[in-house]
Structure 1
Amino acid sequence: MKAKGDVLIGILTVRRPGTKSFRGNHENFRDICEMGRRLGLQVAVFPAEAMNGSEDRIEAYLDARRNGRRVWRKTTLPYPTVVYNRVPDRKTEVQPAVRQAKKKLAERGIPLFNQHFFDKKQLAAWLSGEPETAGYLPKTEEIRDLHHLEQWMEQSTLLYVKPVDGKAGDGILQVTRSGSGWPYRVVAQQNGKRTRMFYKTRQEAALAVWGRVQGQEYLIQQGIDLASWRERKFDLRMLVQKNSTGAWKVTGVGARVADRDGITTHVPNGGEIARARTTLRAAFGSAKGDAILVKARETALVFARTLEQSVQREGGLLGELSLDVGVDTAGELWFFEANAKPMKFDEPSIRAKSLMRLLRYCEFLSRTK
């Protein structure tokens, strides 16, 4: 068992080419370092490229102050005792330097958690095979061809087409069918912008969607009629983390509200943050709204344990994840997404608790490895 002073928590990322810096959310990393100071734990940022040699001391960055400003001080440190993976994107995660760093950590017996991003196809396969989670999944299939797409559009008045490796709602298409003269509406969302297209026939609409997704990995998913708050659709964002004893806990639940013509609730695409209890009570009344929130928290723990088992079967560790959970107009819960590299929650109470819980779990891994 390691004493607190022997624990060195590493945040894994990569160098920023052409600079003396590194990639990732620096503000998030500083918050983690600051909370580490308060808890008496040392935290440093380690670029994966530094782990490709045979040295026992490697390049690292410490959060420091210089002339009243917070700066990253480059230094050399021993290998960390535990590593939190924040490599910033899927493309970088498969680069040789990152693969080699993960191999080096494994050889040294250093625990690394949240080893890679999830993708939507992988999640669907894991969760649809488990009785406890399968019932919460909207019907989802990988798009095979144009005819497959047309079949779905014939059977559905609302559906979504999503990239397998999508993030924050980018690349999503929404297809709706109504009884008007141009009954098919396709809305494409990319980089915070939405493009709306209208078609008279199913065939025209399907061709338009197929033209955008052909040759790429996309899923087609049943649309859910979400509950509304102030005439705007909303869903729930839930942060689930392991604590100081390695047990799963719900750190916080927030609501994300779409703009009036939004097709997703993601904040970068026009969504707004709201309190989960407020939105649920407004939509369903106090008693039912509170009951839905309790059920959502219980269900989040089931999903976390199920996903952890899937990750463990691949030889990995999972210490935190965020979940996107929809609530339909009848109050039923639907699972939309899980993220193994959660963005930071903007709610102050959730944010503070999440930092503390993250570091306590790191300390737990250091003690028990």
Structure 2
Amino acid sequence: MAKIKLPVYLQSGSAHPEEQIAIGAGFLKKLKLPLREPVTLRFGSARREVRITQSSQASLRMSPQLAASLSISHGTKLCVSYHAASRTLHIGPLIGVLMSRVYTHAPDRPFGAMTAFCAELTEACRLHGGAAYFFTPNDIGGEASTVQGWALSEGRWVKSSFPCPNVMYNRVTSRKLENKPQVQQFMRELKTRYGSVAFNEKYLDKTEVFQALRKEKGVHAYLPESYLFKNFAMLKTMCKKYNTVFLKPITGSLGKGIIRITSQPEGGGYQCSFSSLAGVKRQHYPTLTQLFQTISGKMKQRRYQIQQGLRLMETGGRPVDFRALVQKNGEGEWAVTSVVARVAASNTFVSNLARGGTLSPVSEAVARSNLPSGVRTGVNTKLRTAALSIAKSVDATIDGHFAELGVDLAVDAAGRVWLLEVNSKPSKEDNTPSGDSKIRPSVKQVVLYSQHAWGK
């Protein structure tokens, strides 16, 4: 099945009535399109019966009325393919990005800090082929074949009605919103009724990831000892085995709620460090029993993962970890888009940017680190190899469609790579900056993968 990319131009007049579209002669031949016979034009969930005529220009021309009914803007570049068996002309992909919320009081920044990313994705579609709109859980409902959403048009964010997308990219950053019945029903409808693709359709929790990866021999070497926390006996066993252990909320993010427990030398008790939005609070306990009595209330309120503590590589006395962004490319294959080092702020043990952490190129962080010179060489390669293997294993063992994963890794003092966690909603600020390019590779990859998923 041939697929080409064409800009859509709007042209009024009797030569281009609403039910006709015009395509350049060379593309008519390549696509093997029938002339002046009825075919179905499909864009997302929308279908229109049209007749195809020949144009002298390398474009796809349609009437303003037809374009308006499909919510297609003048100049939009779309991929075009023809299915002869069903006599259907497909144009797209139409990408719908599910966002957490919209700020209606800020017309220039309707998605807050994510607005720049939305604009960047829109531009990537313009350059590489596709159309994107952005919507929230509150916009789902009513007629099942359309969605109310926002699109960037001539520098302005405009709300309109759109067909259901060919590809839905889930960027909701709240489990509560993601699990709303209307959101789950919408994703089911997309797949079953329209044959659409929804990727990164759910959050991952830490226990789910580690339990699944334990089944994959190829990634065993990257896994610190880690379990769903159950009781005091488990805490006692892990603290006896390791000088430092971590308790992490299995549904946590941004480093919130992490507890670090460190055994003090020569019977000096235990230091407990609590990570919160306000910083790190430290308390000392003479015995593990007293420590557990203090934290047991937290353990009852939410589920935690207990994990072996690691002696991380440091830069200037600050721990360093690494975020690898791994995405499916235009061929549907996993590839590492970027790896960056994240240096923790002073007096904390979490490196998240929300906690004051800073980004650094891997090579610079390694060069400034306390790693022995003999193990510095090859760290970047080892990180990329680990991230790629872990992403493939998550995709193979966990239910759900994933096309983008943030893989958080650590390097210990001996140069060994360890997995910290896998995030199915990686931050759009955590990957390599765009430099001189207007479009970051990570954003371009979303469009290329959407084209692949749509064309399957």
Say whether the fold is shared (TM-score over 0.5): yes
2:384 to 297, 312, 315: 297
Equivalent residue for 2:445?
Answer: 357
Matches within 5 A, 1:276-315: 276-283=362-369, 284=371, 288-311=375-398, 314=399
Aligned to 1:86: 171
Structure 2: where are the runs of 5+ without partners? 6-77, 79-90
In the alignment, the residues of structure 1 paired with residue 381 and residue 368 of structure 2 have an alpha-carbon distance, to the nearest angstrom, of 16
Q: What's the CA shift for 1:324?
A: 0.5
- Alpha-carbon offset, residue 280 of structure 1: 1.9
TM-score (norm: length of structure 1): 0.90
Question: Could you report, residue by residue, the CA deviation over 1:115-162 in whole angstroms, capped at 9, with x for unpaired residues?
Answer: 101000110111011111122111111221233323333333111000
Q: In structure 2, how many angstroms separate the alpha carbons of the residues matched to 1:285 and 1:152?
A: 28
**May I ask how many residue pairs the two structures share in their alignment?**
361
Q: Is the 2:310–2:412 contact (alpha carbons within 8 Å) kept by the matching residues of 1?
A: yes
1:103 deviates by 1.3
| Cα distance between partner residues in 2 of 1:167 and 1:300 | 19
Alignment of 1:193-212 (within 5 A): 193-212=279-298
Give the aligned residue type for 2:407.
L
Deviation at 1:12, TM superposition (A): 1.8
What is the letter of the counterpart of residue 166 of structure 1?
G
Aligned CA distance change for structure 1 residues 159 and 285 (closer, same or farther; 3 Å): closer
CA distance in 1, matches of 2:102, 2:151: 16
Alignment match of 2:412 (pick from 324, 328, 348) = 328
1:16 to 1:318, Cα distance in 2 relative to 1, 3 A: same
Are residues 1:36 and 2:125 paired? yes
Aligned partners of 1:210, 1:194: CA distance in 2, in Å?
A: 19
Contact 1:49 1:101 in 2 (8 A): no
SS at match of 2:348: coil
Q: Point out the structure with the larger helix share.
A: 1
- Corresponding residue for 2:403? 319
Q: Would the alpha carbon gap of residues 50 and 214 (structure 1) be closer, same or farther in structure 2, given more than 3 Å must change?
A: closer
Paired residue secondary structure (2:256)? coil
Q: Deviations over 1:254-303 (max 9, x none)?
A: 00011232111112112121111112233346773231211211121111
Indicate the larger mover: 117-126 or 173-182.
173-182
Q: CA 1:111 to 1:224, structure 2 compared with 1: closer, same or farther past 3 Å?
A: same
| Consecutive unaligned residues in structure 1, runs of 5 or more | none
The Cα of 1:181 is off from its aligned counterpart by 7.9
Going from structure 1 to structure 2, the CA distance change for 1:14 and 1:181 (only over 3 Å counts) comes to: closer
Superimposed CA distance per residue, residues 166-185 of structure 1 (whole angstroms, 9 cap, x where no aligned partner)? 10110100111122785311
Aligned equivalent of 2:358: 272
CA drift at 1:15: 5.3
More off after superposition, 241-250 vs 211-220? 211-220
CA deviation map 1:57-91 (0-9, x unaligned): 331210135xxxx5421011222121111122111
CA distance in 2, matches of 1:177, 1:55: 57
- In the alignment, the residues of structure 1 paired with residue 95 and residue 447 of structure 2 have an alpha-carbon distance, to the nearest angstrom, of 8
Correspondent of 1:109 among 185, 192, 195:
195
Once the two structures are aligned, what percentage of the paired residues are identical? 29
Tell me the TM-score normalised to structure 2 length. Answer: 0.74
Q: How does 1:1-369 map to 2 (within 5 A)?
A: 3-4=4-5, 5=78, 6-7=91-92, 8-13=94-99, 25-65=114-154, 70-107=155-192, 108-179=194-265, 182-283=268-369, 284=371, 288-311=375-398, 314=399, 316-344=400-428, 345=430, 347-349=432-434, 352-368=440-456
Q: Are the aligned partners of 2:340 and 2:431 in contact in 1 as well (CA < 8 Å)?
A: no
Letter in 2 for 1:130: E
2:273–2:281 CA contact under 8 A, matched in 1: yes
RMSD over aligned Cα, in angstroms? 2.4
User: Distance in 2 between the 1:47 and 1:233 partners?
Assistant: 37
Shift of 1:13: 3.0
Residue 405 of structure 2 aligns to a residue whose secondary structure is strand
* Residue range with higher mean Cα deviation, 44-53 or 242-251: 44-53
**How far apart are the structure 1 equivalents of 2:182 and 2:119?**
24
Per chain length, whose mean CA-contact separation is higher, i.e. which structure has more relative contact order (CA < 8 Å, sep 6+)? 1
Distance 2:288 2:144 in 1: 62
